[in-house]
Amino acid sequence: MTASLSPPAEVLALAEQRDAARQARDFQAADDLREQITAAGWRAVDTAGGTQLEPLPPFTLFERITDLPEPQSLRQSTTCGVGLIVDGWPEDLSACVTDLLTHAPADVVIHLLDCGNVDGAGLVAQQLADAHADRIDVVHLSGTLDQVGWGAACTALIMLEDAPCHVVMDMSSRLTGDAISPLIATINHSSDFAGESGNLEPRGAVVAAGWRGVDVNLADQWRTFDPAGPGEVDALLGYFLLIRTDVAQRIPPSAKAKFYRNADMEWSLAIREAGGCLVAIDLPIEQARHHGYYDSDPQFRDREAKRTYDRLLQRFRGRNDLLHPRAGA
């Protein structure tokens, strides 16, 4: 067992008992001891060396996504909410949220999902929510993003949304103007789902729009996607996109996507398969350093990105009927 910040003797004793219970595979006893440790103001973290003790942060911490509150308990907008995964980089979080508060329409609510309070980013998220109680809410998960998974975290924010539209964005995307209103104006709100097939009617309704789009490279047999200009696209990238909430809740990102890379394209093709149209628009956005890619563990990043792309190819490769019409086709 390892400890941090000198827990009191009685908490250390509980942790030792918990290690013994886990070794004996008495998981009910281990769970009971975890609750006692939590009640004493400490968090039990499982590590290869045993139970590590950390002081509980000054906010409610949820162990699992299934424990998150109901949407009705959070602040809601009548038009649009923004979902932002917080996985560290507190200075980037502050800058991103400040830009949103400055440039987004006044009724837009920001939903922060803190994963693991990495580098104190969860504390900063809580401070932002406390300082802007009318515009920001935050929920805190104990697991880090690589443990939770990008697909699951993104879906959690979507399921917490109660507004008609939901923005998926990365903290590296910095608004320099109102980038949300043009996207809302582009979305078709008249279509709906038909029957139990999950398909959209009328097919071809614009259900998602975003800042950056890509198209499947047909010449190399779907091995790559190419950057696309404004207009209809095969896929939208998750740097900044807006989607109808009902569509996103019916067709969320894959729960198997542990890392964001390629997961947004897999999600886009699933939406197109259901009959939705995706559009890219030039928007007043600049991109700061994308920590999610450049500062992630290269082995984890490459492994999970490949798994997602392999899954994408297995499901969609050759389905050229899903893609937007090409000039001369």
CB contact at 8 A, 276 and 207: yes
Is residue 201 a part of any domain in this protein? Answer: yes
For the chain (length 329 residues), average pLDDT per consecutive 10? 68 92 91 88 83 83 88 85 97 97 97 94 95 95 94 97 96 97 88 59 88 96 96 97 96 97 98 96 96 92 97 97 79
CATH of the domain at 172: 3.90.550.10
Calpha distance 286→188 (Å, rounded): 26
Tally of domains in the chain: 2
User: Of 11, 34, 56, which residue sits at a domain end?
Assistant: 56
What does DSSP say about strands 173-175 and 285-287: parallel, antiparallel, or unpaired?
A: antiparallel
Same domain, 150 and 9: no
In the structure encoding, which two tokens stand for residue 90, read together? 């507190």
- pLDDT score at 193: 52
Same domain, 107 and 23: no
The angle formed by the CA atoms of residues 73, 241 and 173, to the nearest 5 degrees, is: 95
Same domain, 37 and 163: no
Same domain, 22 and 105: no
Is residue 82 a part of any domain in this protein? Answer: yes
Same domain, 186 and 279: yes
Calpha distance 153→307 (Å, rounded): 18
Same domain, 181 and 279: yes
- pLDDT score at 128: 97
Q: How many residues in the chain?
A: 329
Same domain, 198 and 145: yes
Is residue 194 a part of any domain in this protein? Answer: yes
**307-319 core/surface letters (b: 16 or more CB in 10 A; e: else):** bbbebbeeebeee
Is residue 327 a part of any domain in this protein? Answer: no
Calpha distance 216→194 (Å, rounded): 28
Same domain, 40 and 132: no
Same domain, 214 and 260: yes
- pLDDT score at 195: 44
Same domain, 26 and 148: no
Domain that holds residue 312: 66-322
Residue closest to 151 by CA, chosen among 56, 241, 85, 58: 85
Is residue 328 a part of any domain in this protein? Answer: no
Handedness of CA 10, 16, 19, 25 (dihedral sign): negative
- pLDDT score at 5: 60
Same domain, 276 and 297: yes
The angle formed by the CA atoms of residues 221, 224 and 229, to the nearest 5 degrees, is: 115
- pLDDT score at 94: 98
- pLDDT score at 1: 47
- pLDDT score at 191: 57
Is residue 15 a part of any domain in this protein? Answer: yes
pTM, two decimal places: 0.84
* Residues 214-226 pLDDT 10s: 999 999 999 999 9
Is residue 11 a part of any domain in this protein? Answer: yes
User: Of 56, 81, 97, which residue sits at a domain end?
Assistant: 56
- Give φ, ψ of 266 to 5 degrees: -60, -45
- pLDDT score at 197: 57
Calpha distance 260→239 (Å, rounded): 10
- pLDDT score at 74: 83
Is residue 61 a part of any domain in this protein? Answer: no
- pLDDT score at 57: 79
Same domain, 232 and 315: yes
